[in-house]
Chain A
Amino acid sequence: MSDWQEKLERLRAKRARFLQMGGPKRVARQHALGKLTARERLDLLLDPGSFVEIGLLAHHQSSHPDLKDKFTPADGVVTGYGTVDGRRVCVAAYDFTVLGGSMGEVGEGKVARLRRMALEWGVPMIWLLDSAGARIQEFTGSQFAKAGDLFREQVIMSGVVPQVAALMGHCAAGTAYIPALADFVPMVKGRSSMALGGPHLVKAAVGEDVDANELGGSRVHCEISGCADLEVEDDEACIRAVREFLSYLPSNNREKPPAIPCDDPPDRYIDDLTEIVPTNPRQVYDMRHVIRRIVDHGHFFEIKPRWARNIVVGFARLDGHPVGIVANQPLYLGGVLDVDAADKAARFIMLCDAFNVPLLFLQDIPGFLVGTKVERQGIIRHGAKMLYAVSEATVPKVTVIVRKAYGAGYFVMCGRGYEPDLLVAWPTAEISVMGPEGATNIIYRKEIAAADDPDRVWAERTAEFRKLIDPYIAAGHGYIDDVIEPGETRKVVIQGFRMAATKQVHRPWKKHGVMPV
């Protein structure tokens, strides 16, 4: 009996010691920085009592003189599995209070094991990142030759299980590539950053003086680089965003996304869409108001809201079923597509298709941006990504032409040629390879130049073209399925998705396509 007592006490004491993380001083410092600890974050993320930890008692095994006397509980990363809204996830929370959350050999072994479990079990993998990157004492020197497998494994996981990388501290190098390969990357405002090389490395390598926020803070990645998906106020908001993101996706690519009961009537008529969207094509409006009127309870979870604002992408529910929305945004640049907008949309479409989330396209697209600047940026190649993604997508697709549907913009936004299961237009729809003015200028250029009254001829020719741009012509040919009242949009798209719910598409065998990047 007393033998047992001693053994149990030893275990309990060990556990208590490891659960202290980097100790009270470092935990206080973490709080003073406005951050929660790794374990507090897990408490918020996972359903109460669901966490099963793996490797609490792990610690570094290095004999490096710098590390010899240092204690690294859980080796700086808390790993395990638990449930979010009753659904299993694997999660690795880097612990900044333990050697700056640096990635050591033992800790990375734990995370590697977790990644394999996520893949074998078919459950999402979540990283809560607050880490200085590789623990240099353990990796400097040519033993580095064995490193790097985590990114390859992430690629293998891509499209099989959802991957979430939340940036909750300043991360560099290794911890910056994890988000690059993840499906959802929220960043805590002002307290997180990611960069291939942190400020010290940048100073040493290229002589630039820059702080972590300026180099790779939330504003940089959520507004300029597009490397992150959502800037959130604090740790709590970050965890809420992770939970919400997961709610729209299945646990793996063999399952359907989870539906929830919905008391927003599927046939709800929307009275005020005609007040939001002007019939005058010169005037703009905020497409997000249209989206919120259509979806369940007006709730729209926007992805990358501040980057490439000329296109809007995000998740919502229709009659309780998750749906991915891709919509042009007239409020920004008139909704014209440029290189960043095409990238943003293409990646989102691929994400939805990989995880069986149906896609709703809302078109008001004047076309792709033209000119020397965008050609030099490779607009052709970037636009082609959208063509590629929308063509490859075999999930149910429904397209609503709200107003403009011009040129290749109509294609990439899932026009007829891209096999939408339902394609409808509002009476305001303008479908054409180009606008009347552009067509007149090109086709009648010589006639107008030679005319006695060029303005009159131009106006006449333009008016002739304008008559050809009419949704009833497209409907008359059977190229679009219907012209609908704006107010009917919710009812009609829900019917479309219901019809297509059992959709199966068979494609020729291939190893993989060659996506333009």
Chain B
Amino acid sequence: MIEVKAMMVGVVVRIDAGPGTAVAEDQPIVTLESMKMELPIPSPRAGRVREIRVQVGDVVQEGDVVALLEEQEE
């Protein structure tokens, strides 16, 4: 299980890939607003989203775990 972490402080504006969704590497899982931009938190690997730990409107800090990813076996 991979912990997907926020890369910087920001406000959650969108959940792009909810629990159970299969995601490719670099596919957005959660989108934050930060630095005047909508910044996706892309999936670090191909896999399946197991859990989303934030809700729209939450403020997250850098390093906060926003999702758990089950890595796809290659």
Q: Name A residues whose Cβ lies closer than 8 Å to a Cβ of B.
A: 223, 233, 281-284, 286, 306, 330-334, 336, 366, 373, 435, 437
A-B contact count (CB 8 A): 34
Known pairs A281-B37, A283-B38, A366-B35. 9 more at Cβ < 8 A?
A284-B37, A286-B26, A331-B40, A332-B42, A333-B7, A333-B39, A334-B34, A334-B37, A334-B39
Q: Name B residues whose Cβ lies closer than 8 Å to a Cβ of A.
A: 7-8, 26, 34-40, 42, 44, 62, 74
Task: Looking at the assembled complex, report how far the CB atom of A258 sits from the nearest CB atom of chain B, in whole angstroms.
Answer: 31
Query: Which residue of A306, A333, A435 has the most chain B CB atoms within 10 A of its CB atom?
Result: A333
CB nearest neighbor in B for A438: B36
Answer whether A333 and B8 are a contact pair too, CB < 8 Å, given A233-B74, A286-B26, A366-B35: yes
B39: chain A residues within 8 A (beta carbon): 284, 333-334
* Closest 8 pairs (CB-CB, A-B): A334-B37, A282-B37, A333-B7, A334-B39, A334-B35, A282-B38, A283-B38, A331-B42
* Cα–Cα, bound, A333→B42 (Å): 10
CB nearest neighbor in B for A404: B37
CB nearest neighbor in A for B8: A333
9 A-B pairs with C-beta separation under 8 A: A282-B36, A283-B38, A284-B38, A284-B39, A306-B44, A330-B37, A334-B34, A334-B39, A437-B36
B37: chain A residues within 8 A (beta carbon): 281-284, 330, 334, 366
A373: chain B residues within 8 A (beta carbon): 62
Task: Looking at the assembled complex, report how far the CB atom of A312 sits from the nearest CB atom of chain B, in whole angstroms.
Answer: 11
Answer whether A435 and B36 are a contact pair too, CB < 8 Å, given A332-B7, A333-B8: yes
Task: Looking at the assembled complex, report how far the CB atom of B69 sits from the nearest CB atom of chain A, in whole angstroms.
Answer: 14
A330: chain B residues within 8 A (beta carbon): 37
* Cα–Cα, bound, A283→B62 (Å): 20
* Cα–Cα, bound, A462→B5 (Å): 33
B35: chain A residues within 8 A (beta carbon): 334, 336, 366
B34: chain A residues within 8 A (beta carbon): 334
A281: chain B residues within 8 A (beta carbon): 36-37
Task: Looking at the assembled complex, report how far the CB atom of B42 sits from the nearest CB atom of chain A, in whole angstroms.
Answer: 6
Task: Looking at the assembled complex, report how far the CB atom of A87 sits from the nearest CB atom of chain B, in whole angstroms.
Answer: 33
CB nearest neighbor in A for B31: A284
A306: chain B residues within 8 A (beta carbon): 44
Task: Looking at the assembled complex, report how far the CB atom of B7 sits from the nearest CB atom of chain A, in whole angstroms.
Answer: 5
A282: chain B residues within 8 A (beta carbon): 36-38
A435: chain B residues within 8 A (beta carbon): 36
A437: chain B residues within 8 A (beta carbon): 36
* Cα–Cα, bound, A373→B74 (Å): 36
* Cα–Cα, bound, A3→B18 (Å): 80
Tell me whether A331 and B38 are in contact (CB under 8 A): no
Task: Looking at the assembled complex, report how far the CB atom of B16 sits from the nearest CB atom of chain A, in whole angstroms.
Answer: 12
A286: chain B residues within 8 A (beta carbon): 26
A336: chain B residues within 8 A (beta carbon): 35
CB nearest neighbor in B for A286: B26
* Cα–Cα, bound, A334→B36 (Å): 9
